[in-house]
Amino acid sequence: MWLRPRPSRPSQTATRTGQGTLIESPPRRVGARRLSAAMNAHFPFPDFESFAAPLEAWRNIQLPAEAWARLQQSYLEQATALWNHSLQAQGEAAPKLGDRRFANAAWSEDAGAQFLAQLYLLNARTMSEMADALEGDAKTKARIQFAVQQMVDAAAPSNYLALNPEAQRLALDTQGQSIAKGLQLLWADVRKGKLSQTDDSAFEVGRNVATSVGSVVYENDFFQLIEYAPLTPKVHERPFLIVPPCINKFYILDLQPENSLIRYAVENGHRTFVVSWRNPDASCAHWTWDDLIENAPIQALSVVRAITKAQQVNTLGFCVGGTILATALAVLAARGEHPAASLTLLTTLLDFEHTGVLDIFVDEASVRLREATIGASAPKGPALLKGAELAQTFSFLRPNDLVWNYVVSNYLKGEAPPAFDLLYWNGDSTNMSGPLYCWYLRHTYLQNELKVPGRLTVCGEPVDLGRIDCPVYIYGSREDHIVPWEAAYASTQLLRGGPSRSVRFVLGASGHIAGVINPAAKNKRSHWVNAEASFPAQAPQWLATATEVPGSWWRNWSAWLAEQGGALKTAPRQVGSKAYPALEPAPGRYVKQPA
């Protein structure tokens, strides 16, 4: 690794100043077009062009001279120590590398491979420290940190057959069969157009995932409404409607009976309905945010009330589904309607001030680019954001776990991925209409207008989240990298909880999916609650006085939802109603549509 800056020349990107090393426009060194084209294939949220523009932001990033000197000195000392140790440690037991990519004995038994792995880890640490030491605006610095980490992860010697002793040993032991199998798996993935993370043939929606019993009782162009068969002799008088994210299939909430949030709600006596989104095709490319809000959550609420003859419905929104549901309830509030008896928001953003790693992909230039290519005003007309693009983006947020791990096992070792229902769902991608996607990017991630009362007009109505008139339960996951828990907590400042001021925030352990899908029966992980009735403006203040409770947050939520459910009554003999009869068995056709 070469750390010393080369002599300054006009054509170079780094020049020395009295204040430090000024990092000017990295795209000049590698070529802005090549950098953008190469990286955009992997980071389309919304477009990697935003990493290279505007260039002024890059020119203002500096690496202070004292930081440069410290990093250089540290690197040289560690590299020298590593080299000397490798020469003197012949025959000694190899130290643990502390990285699971190099955990196999082949890395420690081969002195050259061990040295290579140690040198890589040193280089990786130094590159990361250099990115952290940069001074400049926070967003550009975060982009550089992210790009550096992507390059560091891609450069790991474990990712390449010529440098991976474990894969080489396996090839010898199998007389080349592992390489032959790896090539077969690679070709199969090329034909599928995606990296396989699980054995897709092991699953079928409706057969061994999404198996809760129910029927589709309504459908339009946007969604199917599923009602699930009761599992208790009595049910709460208020029905329960779930709105999942429109960028995923709903069955993350119904993977298997033992970890199904849907089944858990039904088992606890709730007459449960779920929105199953249509997977948009070219005929849906013109859909707007207004179209979605009016024709999906608002329509679903109307149908559920008509079927059950209930005045109000308990509601739940997960991730983007929570943003959609809250927007719909605010629109209805502006119309003088309050159909929700309660609102549960799971890992949902309403205030987009702090959006974690996804924020680095969004700026004015990148949103305009999307608007000009797939938005309503695009010269060639609106188009779809393909599901494969979103899937790639989210995979590269955790590249070692969701990309390079499978490159090594599938292609270098020839090991077909095992069957895993969660990863099957993760690969079952969905499209989005361009105008809807562009509106969402601009007005939430970029301009953060949803939280401002009256700033946005949706379906002809001014949106004020504070007018949502019902008790609210807000959940965040502590290790969530998509919806940081502090951002989920920010919804407590926007929602008043109706006349009773009933707002509850619960923090769960783990991440965006594993934190939510945490079955009560397994009693894993923990969650944090706070007896204080008020919510301080800053999330850490809430956590400072919170109490950790062992086990899943599901029980806490279930007890709260039971309070909102009303009296118990005899469960219906069949789903739907005379006006809305069963159309087909759950999970329905829409969820089976591929992207």
Contact status, residue 376 vs residue 435, Cβ threshold 8 Å? yes
Measure the CA–CA gap between 367 and 363, rounded to whole angstroms: 6
Which structure tokens are listed for 205? 């929606």
DSSP strand pairing (240-243 vs 272-277)? parallel
Distances 462 to 109, 333, 353, 465 between C-alpha atoms, Å: 67, 10, 21, 10
Residue 584 sits at φ, ψ, to 5 deg, of: -165, 160
438 counts as catalytic: no
Contact status, residue 537 vs residue 315, Cβ threshold 8 Å? no
Residue 570: partners with Cβ closer than 8 Å, 6 or more residues away = 233, 234, 235
Measure the CA–CA gap between 233 and 423, rounded to whole angstroms: 35
HEC profile of 174-239: CCCHHHHHHHHHHHHHHHHCCCCCCCHHHCCECCCECCCCEEEEEECCCEEEEEECCCCCEEECCC
Contact status, residue 114 vs residue 166, Cβ threshold 8 Å? no
Residue 272 sits at φ, ψ, to 5 deg, of: -105, 135
Active-site position among 246, 284, 319, 470: 319
Measure the CA–CA gap between 568 and 418, rounded to whole angstroms: 44
Per DSSP, helices labelled H in 63-137 are 65-88, 105-109, 111-133
Measure the CA–CA gap between 555 and 228, rounded to whole angstroms: 21
How many Å separate Cα 464 from the centre of its chain?
26
Element (H, E) at 581: none
Strand ranges (E), 339-462: 340-346, 384-385, 432-433, 457-458, 461-462
Residue 154 sits at φ, ψ, to 5 deg, of: -70, -30
Residues with a known catalytic role? 319
